[in-house]
Amino acid sequence: MVATISPQASSQLLHFTTTHSTSLLSPFQVSISDAKTLLSCPTTTGGSRRRHAGGVRCMAVGAASEPETKKRNKFEIQTLTGWLLKQEQAGIIDAELTIVLSSISMACKQIGSLVQRAGISNLTGVQGAVNIQGEDQKKLDVVSNEVFSNCLRSSGRTGIIASEEEDVPVAVEESYSGNYIVVFDPLDGSSNIDAAVSTGSIFGIYSPNDECLADVGDDETLDNVEQRCIVNVCQPGNNLLAAGYCMYSSSVIFVLSIGNGVFAFTLDPMYGEFVLTQENIQIPKSGKIYSFNEGNYQLWDDKLKKYIDDLKDPGPSGKPYSARYIGSLVGDFHRTMLYGGIYGYPRDKKSKNGKLRLLYECAPMSYLAEQAGGKGSDGHQRVLDIQPTEIHQRLPLYIGSVDEVEKLEKYLA
């Protein structure tokens, strides 16, 4: 037997005013209401009642008279995962890119943990090998590269990955959709690890490209496939879809841009999640901090020497620029982005083209700088306009506040 409710009884059951306490309602009545909306059948204005053959149909009535004073819950947090899903819902990124960025954040969590335990886990010191750059590899360089590569492969959405620690880009066999091109420096500033100074990971993401992923034909050698991968990876920074870095310091900070500003997420060890801590970061238009390795001063061009000398001159204000240099691009740039000023790694007599890599360091950082209202330059032109000709191409880099970078360009012109 099925119980039925007459239209009259239904109307009486659903009709109540705001003066009634919800604690006096039956469980059924509570289930048809929530804190913001009352189900009601008033006969006065402000609501509606429609009659149908089966009885009375009640419409939801919003509490329009109540002012919208939404208070932020002190327990409400915005995680990186939740933020990425919101960007996906807004159509800014697609589901494939969401997965790629999530896999990168997982790699950063693992590397952050390894960095913090480096001394305990015997991960300090050199590995005993030399990378493609001719630099001694630290133990954590090798491990971080493996972590980053494995996370990107397992995402199934990357087609080509190119690492500063690898000779050539690699076509990902595990890819089944997405096929994004990801370039990364798994552990920038690794020379600082033994001293527990800031280090970081840098990455850039380019649009999918299927050309490199075609099966190798009988008449095609592996060298030819590698060459196609290299051509596909060598794109100017203007083509970047997203870029970011993760800084491993007193806290682990994940900084990201997907083309709509720069956002910072801090790893909360309590939850094991990156939590949004800064939105739409803007580099001050000018600043009073410069970050150069002045140990190479005598190897610099005379024009650059003149620029640095002028920064040290107190001038009419009586205050010269302040010098701050960590020796880690991620750490130095993060400070510059927050406080303003300029970071520079110029060419010198030893390094004719500078030491920083265009694909893995200069382009992603310049992308972030521009998204934050700053500027990235090689001293003469915009970094994002430069077309790479080699995978590990080096470039002088000057990055930071617009006024400061433009001031330097005038000195070098």
Q: What is the rounded distance in angstroms from the CA atom of residue 156 to the CA atom of residue 153? A: 6
Largest CA distance in the chain: 97
Amino acid identity for residue 6 in this structure:
S
Q: Taking the domains of the chain in order of start, what are their residue ranges?
A: 7-62, 80-278, 289-412
Report the CATH architecture of 80-278: 2-Layer Sandwich (3.30)
- Spatial strand order of the sheet with 252-257 comes to 170-171, 158-163, 180-188, 199-206, 242-248, 252-257, 263-268, 273-278
102's enclosing H/E stretch is: helix 95-116
Q: For 353-368, what is the mean pLDDT? A: 96
Q: Per-residue pLDDT for 36 more than 70?
A: no
Classified by CATH at the fold level, domain 289-412 comes out as D-Maltodextrin-Binding Protein; domain 2 (3.40.190)
Looking at residue 318, the DSSP 8-state letter turns out to be T
- In this predicted model, which residue has the larger pLDDT, 136 or 191? 191
In this predicted structure, what is the pLDDT of residue 402? Answer: 97
Which tokens in the block code for residue 144?
């971080």
In the prediction, which pLDDT does 135 show?
A: 60
Q: What is the DSSP string of 202-236?
A: EEEEE----GGGSPPPTT--HHHHHHHHHHHH---
* b/e map 216-227, b = 16+ CB within 10 Å: eeeeeeeeebbe
What residues form DSSP beta bridges with 320? none
pLDDT tens for each residue of 42-88: 444 444 444 444 454 444 444 444 455 556 666 678 999 999 999 99
Q: Half-sphere exposure of 369 toward its Cβ, with a 13 Å CA cutoff?
A: 36
pTM of the model: 0.78
Q: How far apart are CA 152 and CA 371, in angstroms?
A: 25
3-class SS at 384? Answer: helix
Interval 129-133 mean pLDDT:
56
Give, to the nearest 10 degrees, the angle between helix 95-116 and helix 139-155: 160
pLDDT tens track for 80-122: 999 999 999 999 999 999 999 999 999 999 999 999 887 787 7
- Amino acid at residue number 177: S
Task: Give the span between the Cα atoms of 392 and 87, in whole angstroms.
Answer: 32
